[in-house]
Chains A and B, each alone.
Chain A
Amino acid sequence: MPKTILCHCEDVEIGELYSALAQGYGDIETLKRYTGIGTGKCQGKCCFLQTLRILAALKSGAAGSGGTEPESVAAGRSPLKSGAAGWRAQRSEAAGSRPPQLAGDVGAIRVPTLRPPVLPLRIDDIVDGEWS
């Protein structure tokens, strides 16, 4: 059965991304937690950019993921917000088979700010291992 797999590690279909977007999970960090995109063994090396591209394509109004039409990018600089009003309205339409129509003020897509790693030790407290 043909499937359009976006994340190879976690087997996330593109339809799952669309339905998550329609349910209001709008930024990459929330999408990671809700769909599992980019949380597999390769840690997003294969799917992260593709997911961002799809988000950008949706924001700039191009339906579908692989359109070759030139598109304009919405002006503005604010990153995507989770549960933006435009998407809430689409919640009932969580069919998951076609890209949701995004509305509202959405700006440039950027790599989100991640939390700094929580380390039990400071790097200065760690001494080198044996270099073999």
Chain B
Amino acid sequence: MARRPVIFYFENQPLQGVEGEPIAKALFTAGIKTLSWSVKYKRPRGIHCARGRCIMCHMEVDGVPGVPTCLAPLREGMSVRCENFRPFFAPLLISAINKLRFPAGFYYRMFTRPAFLRTLFLASLRRMAGVGRIVVNGPRPQKIPRPAVRSPSDSYGVVVVGAGLSGMSAALAAANRGAKVLLVDEYGRPGGHSIGYQTDSELVSQRDQCVTQVEFSTSIDYCPRTTAQAFYPPDTLLLGPGGALALEQTFDRSPVDTPPGRVALAAGLKKVRAKSFIFATGAYDVIPVFQNGDLPGVFGPRAIRLLLERDRLKPGHRAVVYGIGSVLRDVTALLVHHDIQIVAVVDADPNPAGGVRRALPDGTRWIQQGRVVRADGGRWLTSVTASGRDRRAGRTSTEKLSCDLLCTAFAGQGAYELPYQAGFRFELSEDAVHENRVLLPDKSKVKSGPVTCYVVGEAAAQQTWQQKMTAAEESGSKAPQSLET
């Protein structure tokens, strides 16, 4: 499909972009990197997770507040605005607010006295923090039409949530055992986070094979752009519109005839029942805590893969990579593949003999037993301060590295929400390297009556893709057994 250039408006200023690309990418290409301002300290926020998970890129698009611009596609004549309160004296106000420190629980004590001013305080605080306005009376914002999505049936043998590598493997294994399978995924195309691994050709071929098999399988109903909203034990899953479509779609109530005493769901919501559920919900990026770690230009491993591979957007040219183990190795390889200069690799592995040095390209600056302590920059990252043992110097030192991209590469946080609703409980792994500690489910399956639930993949903190696929296939082939009994 030919992508045509279109004109859109940012704060009434006309800009050019390409139709269908994410709005955030169009803004970035046009030089606008600050997409919003944080609620309390008014710190700059830019594109961050690239998956609609965080709130950093939320903007007002054509009057609709809170649109994740990292996903929402650009259209001709779109009007895009920052959502936050930005008066003409904003720069002054921001520098003043940034010097303040609000103690924990400040809203229980500050701005509550004298009582007669409380309403005024509340109203002005709310305006200053404010994110978004909804036009109550007046023309409704136009809904973004939802691409045709196959409507799922009411009941299935096995429902798989998440069409990443694990989800697809589980769905295929269940379908091979003769079950009727529903595979739902939030996003438009299958594959999840198994994107951006050119260096691992085996993974790429396995993924592509799975995608083809899922799309052609007659016993798998694949529903993209569909979010599993909630799990109601024992056997009901609530489905709704996914990704960037979620907001526009749930505004209106549908004119469905309801029997007395019953209530219709909003348009696009649907209940699905099944005998087995497999949660392959994946994981979120988690950025380590260091000074100014919220600065635009700091990315997690999944975000950087999605930006470079899916959006073809290079968020920087000189990168520092900070991480541990195989994630660090993969992210570095990806950046090298995209011709991004690696300023330094900060390896957080505490083992003096460990680390991924051997996997790094020759001549890469490697800081062993390292740690990023601080990031600096105004609206975008300009430098990173890292401490660690420098092999070249042979001693522990702290150093300021000039760069415009910091890629962190640690294990993420499993998306435990749905499994939690199904009865799984999670605990921190007793990992020696606490920066890499992950949430582990307490059991591999939950059985309530005839219904069995499994959790697989990154949500179960399985690290390598071989592990994920094996576990997913095992759960997938076990799942249909509960149908027979």
Contacts and interface: CB of A to CB of B under 8 A. Distances in A.
Sort A-B residue pairs by CB-CB distance and give the 6 closest, nearest first. Answer: A11-B40, A49-B413, A16-B104, A130-B254, A129-B265, A20-B104
A112 B249 CA distance: 33
Contacts of B450: none
B171 to A, nearest CB: 21
9 contacts: A3-B292, A8-B294, A9-B55, A14-B289, A34-B104, A70-B433, A109-B427, A110-B428, A130-B268
B262 interface: yes
A78 to B, nearest CB: 12
Contact of B262 (A10, A67, A127, A130): A127
A98 interface: no
Contacts of A2: 291-292, 374, 376
Interface string A1-40: 1111110111111111101100101000000001110001
Nearest to A41: B55
A11 to B, nearest CB: 4
Nearest to A33: B105
A110 B440 CA distance: 9
Contacts of B263: 121, 125-127
Interface residues of B, number: 86
A125 B232 CA distance: 13
A20 B438 contact: no
B374 A11 contact: no
Interface string A37-81: 000111001101110111011001010011111110100000000
B289 A96 contact: no
B38 A8 contact: yes
A49 B438 contact: yes
A73 B430 contact: yes
Contacts of B437: 49, 52-53, 56
A71 B430 CA distance: 10
Contacts of A68: 348, 350, 369-371, 433, 435
A110 B425 contact: yes
B41 interface: yes
Nearest to A7: B294
A95 to B, nearest CB: 10
Given A2-B291, A8-B294, A9-B55, A129 B266 contact: yes
Interface in A78-124: 96, 108-111, 113-114, 117, 121, 123
A22 B293 CA distance: 24
A40 to B, nearest CB: 7
Given A10-B39, A57-B434, A69-B350, A126 B420 contact: no
B135 interface: no
Q: Is the interface of A mostly helix, strand, loop or mixed?
A: loop
A69 B432 CA distance: 9
Interface stretch (B159-167, B193-201, B280-288): B280-288
B406 interface: no
B291 A4 contact: yes
A40 B40 CA distance: 12
Given A3-B43, A8-B55, A45-B413, A19 B103 contact: yes
A109 B293 contact: no
Interface of A: 1-6, 8-17, 19-20, 23, 25, 34-36, 40-42, 45-46, 48-50, 52-54, 56-57, 60, 62, 65-71, 73, 96, 108-111, 113-114, 117, 121, 123, 125-132
A125 B262 contact: yes
B192 to A, nearest CB: 16
Interface string B259-279: 101111111111100000000
Contact of B104 (A35, A52, A56, A70): A35
Nearest to B148: A132
Given A46-B54, A56-B434, A128 B270 contact: yes
A20 B105 contact: yes
B36 to A, nearest CB: 11
A132 B264 contact: no
A126 B373 contact: no
Nearest to A35: B104
B335 interface: no
Contacts of A48: 413
A79 B40 CA distance: 31
Contacts of A8: 38, 45, 48, 54-56, 294
Interface in B326-353: 348, 350-351
Interface centre among A15, A71, A123, A131 (most CB of B within 10 A): A131
B25 interface: no
B290 A17 contact: no
B58 interface: yes
Interface string B356-381: 00000000000001111110100000
Given A3-B291, A73-B430, A123 B151 contact: no
Nearest to B108: A34
Contact of A126 (B265, B288, B369, B432): B265
